[in-house]
């Protein structure tokens, strides 16, 4: 059986770490430690493939996110057009 004293330490370590600027597998590790089968020590060489949907889950971006992204892109493009027009006048 999985040592229950170890799980909180792994969970805490997975939450504490923040890495910026490069891709890591921290989210994968967080989901793995949070998985009930992992906690129950139901581990074998098929663990990842059997729990692939949970371990590799991606967050769905909301319509509000896409609306914000579109508005931001619009502002960037408007600013670019202004800059190009100003340069042409010079």
Span 33-51, pLDDT tens digits: 888 898 888 888 899 999 9
User: How confident is the model at residue 20, as a pLDDT?
Assistant: 66
- Model confidence at 19, pLDDT cuts 50, 70, 90, reads low
How far apart (Å, rounded) are the C-alpha atoms in residues 39 and 7? 7
At residue 50, the pLDDT reads 93
- The arithmetic mean of pLDDT across residues 62-80, rounded, is 85
SS3 assignment, position 87: helix
* Other beta carbons within 10 Å of 85: 9
Higher pLDDT, 37 or 61: 37
Statement: the pTM of the whole predicted model exceeds 0.85:
no
Closest-CA residue to 1 (of 40, 30, 32): 40
pLDDT of residue 22 exceeding 70, the answer is no
Residue 41, CA distances (Å) to 33, 44, 65, 88 in order? 11, 9, 38, 67
């Amino acid at each position: 059986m999985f040592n229950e004293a170890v799980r909180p330490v792994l969970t805490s370590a997975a939450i504490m770490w923040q890495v910026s600027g490069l891709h890591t597998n921290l989210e994968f590790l967080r989901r793995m430690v949070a998985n009930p089968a992992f906690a129950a020590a139901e581990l074998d060489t098929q663990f990842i493939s059997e729990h692939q949907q949970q371990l590799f889950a991606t967050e769905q971006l909301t319509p509000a996110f896409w609306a914000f992204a579109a508005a931001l892109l619009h502002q960037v493009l408007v600013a670019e057009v202004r800059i190009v027009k100003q340069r042409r006048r010079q």
